Structure 1
Amino acid sequence: MITHINQDYLLGVLGRLLAIPSPSGMTDDIVRLVCDELDTLAIDYELTRRGAIRAHLPGRAKKPRRAVVAHLDTLGGMVRSLKQNGRLAIVPIGTWSARFAEGARVLIHCDNGRTFHGTVLPLKASGHRYNEEVDQQPSAWSNLEVRIDEASSSIDTLWDLGIRVGDYVSFTTAMEFSENGFINSRFLDDKAGVAAILAAARALSENGLKPELDSSLLFTISEEVGVGASHVLRGNVAEMVSVDNGIVAPDQNTSEFGVTIAMKDSSGPFDRHLTSHLLQLCMDQEIKFSRDVFIHYRSDAAAALEAGNDIRTALICYGLDASHGYERVHVQSLTSVAGLIGAYLCSDPLFSRGKNVIGEEKSYPLIQNSSEDRPANR
């Protein structure tokens, strides 16, 4: 592998990222953390008007320019109404199932600067009262409420505490780092991808490696609500690799212990040339990999293309079980992703400037005796 990835650093950064609530729309604190980390790594960066991060890695050549992108925002909730019983009705931020919200501990973030702890409960929560009705209640956000840890039994009490409609609700991660390399937590999507990018950048610096092309490290703040990388590009990027979660599930081919190259998601196929380039890098660098197709999924890349950017895009993934729920990833998968990011940044351009933009026929890599995982659904 072209770069040695420091797993201790990767896990340390990931732990700090997970400790900061960052539902879409409430990302200032997580942006500050990543900016501090970029300062430590001596990487120049700038913030967009909306608060996304555009970091710069000087390369051996100025053009064409590359980018690697991951998102800092997560799923969350928002107060929909203050209820007469002193509890809160909520709606989701992002797309996720209410069944993964039931029983969760949360923080309510008020405009006056106060935060309140609470628990998300179904409307019929007590088995001693409702008996079998507890199990018969459909899983839906309209059937949930937040019980706050205050002496609150009326809407007037909630108002006096400073709680208002539109206050953000962040969900605790319940993160756990196991000795065998598994990481369990909410919101590994996509803080695990952010940690992998930072670990790759550190590895390049420590090994004295310079990217082949000027490259941007992009950290977006609204992917979970569909905006993604639509607002962070400036028109000078030719190719962009998105880093996000792969799907560990039946009938999927994602590698739980390596990197997964996405061939297509719900927005369509990824760029054939760039994807083939990444597959070849996995071969050359002996990085364990799989290929997969995602049906109910989109990433920062889709938003960038929909915004009108004329760029090649690809998606590389770490293997994530129970995405948008109680997620799990293995550190080996994150290490593989970070290694591929480093190899990609140090690789030759797809095509020389001014050459045929669709390439010559011989430019397509032929993947033969590979280190690819056997099909996951065999």
Structure 2
Amino acid sequence: MAYVQEAVNKIIELCKIASPTGYTDKIMEYLVSEVKKLGFKYEITNTKSFIVDLGHGDSNAILFMAHIDTLGAMVKSIKENGRLKLTKIGGYPFSHIENENCIVFTRDGKEYTGTIYNVHPSVHVYKDTGTIERNEDNIEVVLDQKVKSKEDVKELGIMPGDFIAFDPRTILTKTGFLKSRFLDDKAGAGILLTLAKIVRDFVIEPKRKIYIMFTSYEEVGHGAAAGIPEDVSEIIAVDMGAVGGDLESDVYSVSICAKDSSGPYDYDIVTKLIKAAKLADVNFTVDIYPYYSSDASVAMYAGYNVKHGLIGPGVYASHGYERTHVDAIEATLKLLQKYLELE
């Protein structure tokens, strides 16, 4: 299926664009370029949500959403020895970013690479290298610059509040495994860009008006709190399907979420998603995520009068170095296509 490879390519391209929450202008430029190629109308809201109008029916509009912001960090302070102290953007343990390469983006447009270490990184020097607590005080950025003091770093133009992005390390194996940071939710975003192309190419005949929305503040909890068009009656978040524990989900299937930490998703929508998955003849699971909440739930909290649902390709090791498989991307894309064909 040509469109599956298209989705995979888009996901890889998106993963390579740094976009920690609050620093999404570069990826927004990418979206503008892609949507202009497809010929659809779009708008960018004040809260930096990117909304695409795919047309078709006049009422009962449906909106699919994914988020383009990712986990990241900011410079909290500059240490006297020239190292940088971090403050997290989004929810993850510091152990998930230890020994990762990163980029610091200054307010005047400069970029500096570095590596994230714990403060006692060498087993030949420190007795507690393996046991030291991984927290804000013990994790730091070592810049790839000849700096020895706070003043040296300031001369580079680095200051508190500068954004820090982690190396995504995106890899597609010959066996179809896609490994990368930020598959949450670059996978969903790439799938929705491909769905837009499918609609443009008249591969399917949707029964309803369709919007796609890419949000910029999901990882901090308010991505879809504003900006949903007035004629939308249904929203479906296309995010990751969490894998692990006693969940049914795996990296080869599309996961349909029946309930997460925000409560149950709309009964009719979940039932219809299950029906579409069966008709599309794809591998799917129905799951309950204990420590998860989506942009669709945020929209409900914001007071939108809509029905809501959540699906996504199964992603292992969420908020770490994540992995999925091309099969899960294909299953998600086919489910969305079939869903749009249902009354």
Higher mean C-alpha deviation, range 43-52 or range 268-277: 43-52
SS of 2:147 mapped into structure 1: coil
Distance 1:336 1:200 in 2: 13
Distance 1:158 1:120 in 2: 16
Contact map agreement 1:22 1:170 (CA 8 A) in 2: yes
Q: How does 1:255-294 map to 2 (within 5 A)?
A: 255-294=250-289
5+ residue gaps, structure 1, are 349-378
Match status 1:310 vs 2:290: no
Partner residue of 2:34? 37
Contact map agreement 1:197 1:341 (CA 8 A) in 2: no
Q: How does 1:322-333 map to 2 (within 5 A)?
A: 322-333=317-328
Structure 2 counterpart of 1:316, which letter? I
Distance 2:338 2:32 in 1: 24
Contact map agreement 2:68 2:185 (CA 8 A) in 1: yes
Q: How does 1:187-226 map to 2 (within 5 A)?
A: 187-226=182-221
Q: How does 1:1-378 map to 2 (within 5 A)?
A: 6-59=3-56, 61-130=57-126, 132-348=127-343
Contact map agreement 2:204 2:337 (CA 8 A) in 1: no
Structure 1 counterpart of 2:35, which letter? L
Contact map agreement 2:279 2:338 (CA 8 A) in 1: no
Distance 1:5 1:263, change over 3 A: farther
Partner residue of 1:374? none
Identity score, percent: 32
Structure 1 counterpart of 2:169, which letter? A
Distance 2:166 2:2 in 1: 30
* TM-score (structure 2 length as normaliser): 0.97
Distance 2:202 2:53 in 1: 18
Distance 2:316 2:43 in 1: 34
Cα offsets for 1:114-149 (capped at 9, x unmatched) = 11110000011111111x311120122321010001
**How many angstroms does 1:234 deviate by?**
3.0
Cα offsets for 1:306-354 (capped at 9, x unmatched) = 1011110000111000000010010110111111112222321xxxxxx
Contact map agreement 1:5 1:203 (CA 8 A) in 2: no
The alignment's C-alpha RMSD in Å is: 1.2
Contact map agreement 2:100 2:167 (CA 8 A) in 1: yes
SS of 2:59 mapped into structure 1: strand
Cα offsets for 1:241-292 (capped at 9, x unmatched) = 1111111112111132121110000000000001101111111221221100
Contact map agreement 1:193 1:245 (CA 8 A) in 2: yes
Distance 1:37 1:343 in 2: 24
Q: Tell me the number of residue pairs that the alignment of Structure 1 and Structure 2 aligns.
A: 343
Contact map agreement 2:4 2:333 (CA 8 A) in 1: no
Distance 1:172 1:90 in 2: 16
Distance 1:258 1:64 in 2: 29
Cα offsets for 1:63-95 (capped at 9, x unmatched) = 111110000000000000010011100011011
Structure 1 counterpart of 2:51, which letter? R
Distance 2:196 2:221 in 1: 27
Structure 1 counterpart of 2:32, which letter? C
Contact map agreement 1:58 1:210 (CA 8 A) in 2: no
Partner residue of 1:365? none
Distance 2:296 2:2 in 1: 25
Partner residue of 1:351? none
Higher mean C-alpha deviation, range 203-212 or range 313-322: 203-212
Contact map agreement 1:5 1:199 (CA 8 A) in 2: no
Contact map agreement 2:236 2:311 (CA 8 A) in 1: yes
Partner residue of 1:356? none
Distance 1:5 1:245 in 2: 22
Higher mean C-alpha deviation, range 151-160 or range 233-242: 233-242
